[in-house]
Chain A
């Protein structure tokens, strides 16, 4: 902390060099907190409450990683980032992990030099229209005015979709979801397009959600996941396997309620034992303590619990699991074995 005080920081600027080259996990442990990049505010995924505590689905991932590495889910410094600043913040080392509904794309992975550690939400770009327009397919939208958030991949997908289908549209670029919502409700645009999860979340907060429909077309694949810098594989492994541990925990029925009990003594299921550190040396291989996964799961529950608490069907957002169900339930969540 003292380092960021006033001139002290300039001192550090003058002296400290080559810090980013060191292992991220050591930095995080030394600082005693994880710097985690989140959005400046997206319903259900990350938003501060009245006490300034961040909550949401992406926030849950940050807390799980912090719990796994530092043993304390609250040892997270949340850094709000915009679409523009997020990658620079990660590349410059300002944040150690970016969990900001960021789409995993080739160029971001290869050209911008980041490592996506997995997918925590399978999304796709959809369209929402007022029912009174009588539109049932996105291909009927010729000449429509479309509200779209700038600085995202949705902008490019939209241009591609309309070009390929040879229909015209008028884009209305918007900075934040809140403004898009306002314009859409007032009829300043006919269509609102963003990730389907965002559409559902936005629609849920309308005064009359029944007047609006989400069109069946999903025009893009948007695998959203946490990412880290290229080149630090140890740190990437920690983030990746923490996310995997949350998903595996759901698969094996380990919840925040029973994890203590299951971790107290080896169970009949060797997978659970290895996951929870009662058997094998998985924690040590990651450079963490044996009960790293226990702490991660205790932080906010397993993947299913996080989902249900923040964006699931019992929340105002009311998203169905869909693609984000376990492979055993017809979804895409399939984690490699813990062994």
Chain B
């Protein structure tokens, strides 16, 4: 009946691996795989051979030996008898600290500068341009070193606070001391604290802080419920009951009560011996790194922000103006929310850059993971392979987490188009 017949079943020929598009992709992929595996195998083989020749086998045991060196900036307890692993962890926390601080500050400065670059004030716009160009076109390593040098040279040393007629005095009603060793600010203390919670016996988390955070979250949740109830009332009756005083009280009172219960007070820094004692000491290395990284990254963010704002069509501004919005509200309510979608993807890569640039901390002696694990530990133990690979892995994980989180956020902020 039918004139259509199946094409004759082609028998497989070797040449089809190359000429037939159905198989060619497999051929290429297998070749690529073999090439990569060969390369990896070759490298591993060399490494094993070389390490054997040097008499150094891959061994992470050094991580459990006492580190022997001190770290000035630490978020968890550490002394020189603790292990290299703990030292690396101290470094990791320091990296995260400066990265988080830097990202927040850089965003704030970047947005302000980006908006001001478009200011109608000629002088301000020019000054911002000078700032952006200066920071973008000089290596960040130089800015870090310069920030440190400026802090050291321009601030008074603790010595200057001494004597009957000191050359320098503490600022803000004798509570804050700016010295070239860092800034000493009052620290929160609890005279009836409930102690620390030990996690895996490795480090403690202040239960006072946890309690305060829990209470705060609870209060905010209650305040929000009150707000929702007011919304419901408004929907039903058209009259919105006044709730702000109740909400404020709900948020403020429990925390204040808790603070009084815990015996909250401030510990002020005071000059004792060689240094200021008491208070929280923000070291110059941290401040210099933070400042330099934020200012450097902010210059790039400012450009992204400017580009984002310029990408919003002028019609939006005019429409907002026609609605009678004032210029700062136009910026806040109409332009920036739209510009955000353009700004966020480059912002993510700026955050990543800042985090990676924080590895230059060794230039100012800030003990981040590069300074501890890939610095002193590498030096003292001679374990180059293990330390450097471990350090790279840590940075890789941090980077992947940041870009993952920011991509999720970006996904949520994306314009829903129909």
A and B: interacting chains: yes
Of the 9-residue stretches B120-128, B317-325, B361-369, which lies at the interface with chain A?
Answer: B361-369
Which residues on the A side are within 8 Å of B362 (C-beta)? 150, 175
Q: Is B54 a contact partner of A113 (Cβ separation < 8 A)?
A: yes
Taking the closest CB of chain A, its distance from the CB of B95, in whole angstroms, is 15
Q: Is B274 a contact partner of A186 (Cβ separation < 8 A)?
A: no
Q: Is A112 a contact partner of B274 (Cβ separation < 8 A)?
A: no
Which residues on the A side are within 8 Å of B72 (C-beta)? 170-173
- A11 in the interface (beta carbon within 8 A): no
Which residues on the A side are within 8 Å of B272 (C-beta)? 143
Q: What is the CA–CA distance of A84 and B374 in the complex, to the nearest angstrom? A: 9
Given A143-B274, A159-B69, A182-B149 in contact, is the A150-B376 Cβ separation under 8 Å? Answer: yes
Taking the closest CB of chain B, its distance from the CB of A21, in whole angstroms, is 8
Taking the closest CB of chain A, its distance from the CB of B343, in whole angstroms, is 36
Of the 9-residue stretches A51-59, A187-195, A219-227, A324-332, which lies at the interface with chain B?
Answer: A187-195
- B70 in the interface (beta carbon within 8 A): yes
Q: Mark B19-55, 1 if CB is under 8 A from A, else 0.
A: 0000000000000000000000000000000000011
Q: What is the CA–CA distance of A188 and B371 in the complex, to the nearest angstrom? A: 20
- A91 in the interface (beta carbon within 8 A): yes
Q: Is B275 a contact partner of A170 (Cβ separation < 8 A)?
A: yes
Which residues on the A side are within 8 Å of B159 (C-beta)? 130, 132-133, 187
Which residues on the B side are within 8 Å of A159 (C-beta)? 68-70, 80
Residue among A130, A144, A152, A183 with the most chain B CB within 10 A? A183
Q: Is B80 a contact partner of A163 (Cβ separation < 8 A)?
A: yes
Q: Is A91 a contact partner of B54 (Cβ separation < 8 A)?
A: yes
Q: What is the CA–CA distance of A88 and B381 in the complex, to the nearest angstrom? A: 12
Q: What is the CA–CA distance of A172 and B72 in the complex, to the nearest angstrom? A: 7
Taking the closest CB of chain A, its distance from the CB of B112, in whole angstroms, is 31
Q: Is B365 a contact partner of A173 (Cβ separation < 8 A)?
A: yes
Q: Is A150 a contact partner of B68 (Cβ separation < 8 A)?
A: no
- A271 in the interface (beta carbon within 8 A): no
Q: Is B382 a contact partner of A111 (Cβ separation < 8 A)?
A: yes
In-complex Cβ contact of B274 among A83, A84, A183, A190 (8 A): A190
Of the 9-residue stretches B150-158, B192-200, B235-243, which lies at the interface with chain A?
Answer: B150-158
- B386 in the interface (beta carbon within 8 A): no
Q: Is B54 a contact partner of A156 (Cβ separation < 8 A)?
A: no
Q: Mark B152-174, 1 if CB is under 8 A from A, else 0.
A: 11000111100000000000000
The total of chain A residues at the interface (CB under 8 A) is: 41
In-complex Cβ contact of A187 among B54, B157, B375, B382 (8 A): B157
Q: Is A189 a contact partner of B379 (Cβ separation < 8 A)?
A: no
In-complex Cβ contact of A175 among B81, B158, B363, B380 (8 A): B363
Given A143-B272, A143-B277 in contact, is the A186-B80 Cβ separation under 8 Å? Answer: no
- B378 in the interface (beta carbon within 8 A): yes
Which residues on the B side are within 8 Å of A182 (C-beta)? 149, 152-153
Given A143-B274, A155-B69, A172-B72 in contact, is the A186-B153 Cβ separation under 8 Å? Answer: yes
Taking the closest CB of chain B, its distance from the CB of A168, in whole angstroms, is 10
Q: Is B275 a contact partner of A151 (Cβ separation < 8 A)?
A: no
- B139 in the interface (beta carbon within 8 A): no
In-complex Cβ contact of A150 among B80, B152, B153, B371 (8 A): B371
Which residues on the A side are within 8 Å of B152 (C-beta)? 182-183, 186, 188
- A87 in the interface (beta carbon within 8 A): yes
Q: Is A144 a contact partner of B157 (Cβ separation < 8 A)?
A: no
B window 328-365: CB within 8 A of A: 362-363, 365
A window 98-132: CB within 8 A of B: 107, 111-113, 130, 132
Q: What is the CA–CA distance of A113 and B50 in the complex, to the nearest angstrom? A: 14
Q: Mark A294-329, 1 if CB is under 8 A from B, else 0.
A: 000000000000000000000000000000000000
- A174 in the interface (beta carbon within 8 A): yes
Q: Is A175 a contact partner of B365 (Cβ separation < 8 A)?
A: yes
7 contacts between A and B (CB under 8 A): A111-B382, A133-B274, A145-B275, A150-B362, A151-B375, A170-B275, A173-B376
Which A residues lie at the B interface, using CB under 8 A? Answer: 83-84, 87-88, 91, 107, 111-113, 130, 132-133, 141-145, 150-152, 155-156, 158-160, 163, 169-175, 179, 182-183, 186-190
Q: Which 5 A-B pairs have the closest CB atoms?
A: A187-B157, A173-B365, A159-B80, A143-B273, A144-B274
Starting from the known contacts A144-B273, A169-B70, 15 additional A-B residue pairs (CB-CB under 8 Å) come to A83-B379, A84-B379, A130-B159, A133-B159, A133-B274, A144-B274, A144-B275, A156-B68, A171-B69, A173-B365, A182-B152, A182-B153, A186-B152, A188-B284, A190-B275
